[in-house]
Amino acid sequence: MRLPRIFTAMVTPFHENGEINYDEAGRLAQWLITHGSEGLILSGTTGESPALTDSERMMLLRAVRARVGPEVPLWMGTGTNNTVHSRELSWEAAENGADGVLLVCPYYNKPPQEGLIRHFTEIARGLPIPVMLYNIPSRTGVNLLPASVRTVMEECENVVAIKEAGGSLPQLQELINLVSPRMRVYSGDDAMYFTALTLGAYGVVSVASHLVGNELETMTQMVIQRDLDGARQIHTTLTPLFQELFRYTNPISVKWALNYLHIPVGDVRLPLVTPGHEHAFDALRELIDQLIAAGLYSQAG
């Protein structure tokens, strides 16, 4: 099984009344696939998974699948801080046509490493589709250590990837050394993607790919071909955008950017809110305008 190198953690479009805009989700998914994304992850953090019901997740999956067809890899975020619920969601995702699932570390209850190992193995064991683990301590309050990842990998053959967003380059390098190439390591941070690639990461689960998917694809291929100077130049050009997209809690800024570009994804759901002050997105607006003028932005047209 060949895994995509560039996954987009897709936003969930909403109507003005707060309901999911399934038609727009399909249109956005199709556009992303034609602009650098090789696969999509639905109902992840960027998709506002904590604010979606289980039935909404499955309806979203079916709507996007109907639009992009069977060939596009569609993965679904099914991780929660409840092991039984996560397993049930993962099986339901498989039954509704997901190509894989993304399992975030349990949040709030802060399990020890043994609890993390048992949580992931309980969900993955017997599941008929592949699994990507997701380590993001800034949101979950717990850090999945490389040795624990290796243990899960050894116990479950279908655990084939990890999205690493721990923010530590030494931990990233240790993780790559311990699990690669049997397990694909993805950068979970756009700003660290170039460095992660040079350390041996396989790809990225990206937010910025909503806007610059083609550029991320080019940078990836440059690193693979050892054109590090060219890749570094793209990274340097895009770094201010990476930083600005996370000025506010994700996905507030990327949703604002898409709406600014006349891609109607709507607002975020409570408890997230979009800043209402006049100059909240001035810097992001300026960066997008600069990228358009420079021909570097993958415009929707």
Which tens digit of pLDDT belongs to each residue from 227-273? 999 999 999 999 999 999 999 999 999 999 999 999 999 999 999 99
The reply to whether 134 belongs to the active site is yes
Which residue range(s) make up the domain with 169?
Answer: 6-293
Buried/exposed code over 239-269 (b: 16+ C-beta within 10 A; e: otherwise): ebbbebbbebebbbbbbbbbeebebebbbbe
The reply to whether 202 belongs to the active site is no
**62 close to 32: Cβ distance less than 8 angstroms:** no
| Environment class of 108 (CB within 10 Å of its CB; exposed 0-12, middle 13-18, buried 19+) | exposed
- Asked if residue 1 is part of any domain, the answer here is no
- Residue 292 is predicted with a pLDDT of 84
What are the phi and psi torsion angles at 161 (to 5°)?
-155, 165
Instruction: Assess whether pLDDT exceeds 90 at residue 296.
Output: no
Name residue, tokens 């309806």: 59
- Asked if residue 300 is part of any domain, the answer here is no
Q: Residue 113 contacts by C-beta under 8 Å, 6 or more apart in sequence? A: 144, 145, 147, 148
Across the chain, mean pLDDT equals: 96
Instruction: Assess whether pLDDT exceeds 60 at residue 204.
Output: yes
> Which of 22, 110, 134, 248 is an active site residue?
134
Mean pLDDT of 142-171: 97
**Residues 178, 236: Cα–Cα separation, whole Å:** 29
User: Domain with 82 in it: what CATH number?
Assistant: 3.20.20.70
**Residues 149, 161: Cα–Cα separation, whole Å:** 10
Mean pLDDT of 202-229: 97
pTM, two decimals, is: 0.95
**Residues 240, 253: Cα–Cα separation, whole Å:** 13
> Which of 22, 108, 110, 163 is an active site residue?
163
- Asked if residue 183 is part of any domain, the answer here is yes
- Asked if residue 169 is part of any domain, the answer here is yes
- Dihedral angle, C-alpha 274, 280, 286, 292, nearest 10 °: 0
pLDDT > 90 fraction of the chain, expressed in percent and rounded: 94
Mean pLDDT of 82-87: 98
More confident residue, 291 or 59: 59
The count of domains in the chain is 1
- Asked if residue 249 is part of any domain, the answer here is yes
- Asked if residue 301 is part of any domain, the answer here is no
pLDDT > 70 fraction of the chain, expressed in percent and rounded: 98
pLDDT band at 278 (very low <50, low <70, confident <90, very high): confident
**Eight-class DSSP state of 269:** P
